[in-house]
Amino acid sequence: MREREERLLAELSALQNRDLYRRRKVVSDRGPTPEVVVDGQRLIDFCSNDYLGLGRDPRLAEAMARAATLWGAGATSAHLVTGHTEAHHRLEQDLARFTGRERALLFSTGYMANLGVVTALAGRNDLIVEDRLNHASLIDAARLAGARTRRYSHGDACSAASRLAEGRGHRKLLITDGVFSMDGDVAPLRELAEAATANDAWLVVDDAHGLGVLGPTGGGSVEATGLGPEAVPALVGTLGKAFGTFGAFVAGSHALVETLIHKARTYIYTTAPPPAVAEATSAALAIAGAEPWRRERVASLVTRFRAGARRLGVPLSGSGTPIQPVLVGGAAAALAVSQALLREGFWVVAIRPPTVPADSSRLRITLSAAHSEDHIDALLDALSRTLVPVMVR
């Protein structure tokens, strides 16, 4: 073997020795949500982001199939060339209406939306202030922008405010997850918005896990906090989570969206998402709006999960959202519990560094409107048997 490959393999086996090696499981079949089949074993999925249970809704699949017949499988070019169809355009209008913003702009993924909006708004002479536990795509976006960057401790709006006030920058950006992806807690958006306004900064909120789930109409963490477009001028949402499809968007003013069309390189230099995906997403938005019971149901399952966990001594985080992490600590212990749960028919992935900070490996349990009360109770029972002994030791 070439020496260059041998070096890679040595690095990989070092990861293995630290219990940080990652193996993908191949899903061979999917039963009714939330059932999946892996290696011939039927599992209840407790770790995907299908909060409203829409991912496998036949109405989305039908909308996609119909649209694929009409538009074909792919967009065949970028939005600024020939790839921007009526399907995309309608979805942008639907998303603007859904989020209560003037405009929305589709991106192919949330990762790209974050890179695009941050690099379009900030460059060399600017200041970016961001939460330490922001999603990797926001962290990478700040790096790519090349702006002066200051991170504040998680959820600490005071420290965000002082970094904004002290830092120098031609333009200032304050960027945060709305719902934190690995912790499930909600950012102190009201205080962050005040700090941004006081410092004439752009507040960018990535609400990948809040949209569709939180707020009186599913408008997300920003709506739940009672904030509007003035307070949160740039709102990022993803479509592959609560809405069950694929893609992402940035919602905001006409001026912001036109700026992104001209300056966001992850928008300009990439193929538009398939029009059929856009049609399926419009269908998902309509269903999420027409079936508020999905939001109410997942919220009531969160309450049930937390009450049961308290009763059984399963340690809980402070999260009130469908992301319910159970902190284990070491990577090996988290893996062991995850594997024990797997044997009992539950799929809960162990989240380890570098996705989370050292010694904070966890089981990131996610709840969905598609889970039944029995699913929740059975998981709690399995957790109390597999996890509690590990934690006590």
**What is the contact surface with ligand PLP in residues (CB under 6 A)?**
109-111, 114, 135, 137, 177, 181, 206, 208-209, 238, 240, 248
Among 108, 137, 159, 181, the active-site one is 181
Instruction: For the CB of residue 304, give the shortest distance to ligand PLP in the complex, in Å.
Output: 24
Among 241, 319, 338, 361, the active-site one is 241
Residue 317 falls in the annotated catalytic set: no
325: its two tokens: 């992490």
Instruction: For the CB of residue 36, give the shortest distance to ligand PLP in the complex, in Å.
Output: 19
> Which whole-number Å values give the CA distances from 232 to 109, 223, 347, in the listed order?
21, 10, 36
Instruction: For the CB of residue 354, give the shortest distance to ligand PLP in the complex, in Å.
Output: 15
Task: Pick the closer one to ligand PLP by CB: 88 or 375.
Answer: 88
DSSP class of 152: E
Instruction: For the CB of residue 118, give the shortest distance to ligand PLP in the complex, in Å.
Output: 12
Residue 88 falls in the annotated catalytic set: no
Task: Pick the closer one to ligand PLP by CB: 159 or 238.
Answer: 238
Q: CA-to-CA distance for 220 and 227, rounded, in angstroms?
A: 10
Going by C-alpha positions, the residue among 211, 195, 198, 295 that lies closest to residue 250 is 211
Residue with CB nearest ligand PLP? Answer: 110
Q: CA-to-CA distance for 168 and 182, rounded, in angstroms?
A: 31
Per the CB < 8 A criterion, the answer to whether 365 and 341 are in contact is no
Residue 209 falls in the annotated catalytic set: yes
Task: Pick the closer one to ligand PLP by CB: 218 or 308.
Answer: 218
Per the CB < 8 A criterion, the answer to whether 247 and 277 are in contact is yes
Among 79, 135, 172, 209, the active-site one is 209
3-state secondary structure 358-372: CCCEEEEEECCCCCC
Residues whose CB is less than 8 angstroms from the CB of residue 48 and which lie 6 or more positions away in sequence, other chains included: 34, 55, 366, 368
Task: Pick the closer one to ligand PLP by CB: 135 or 371.
Answer: 135
Strands 350-351 and 172-177: unpaired
Instruction: For the CB of residue 313, give the shortest distance to ligand PLP in the complex, in Å.
Output: 29
Task: Pick the closer one to ligand PLP by CB: 55 or 240.
Answer: 240
Q: Is cis: bond before 32, omega within 30 of 0?
A: no
Catalytic residue annotation: 181, 209, 241
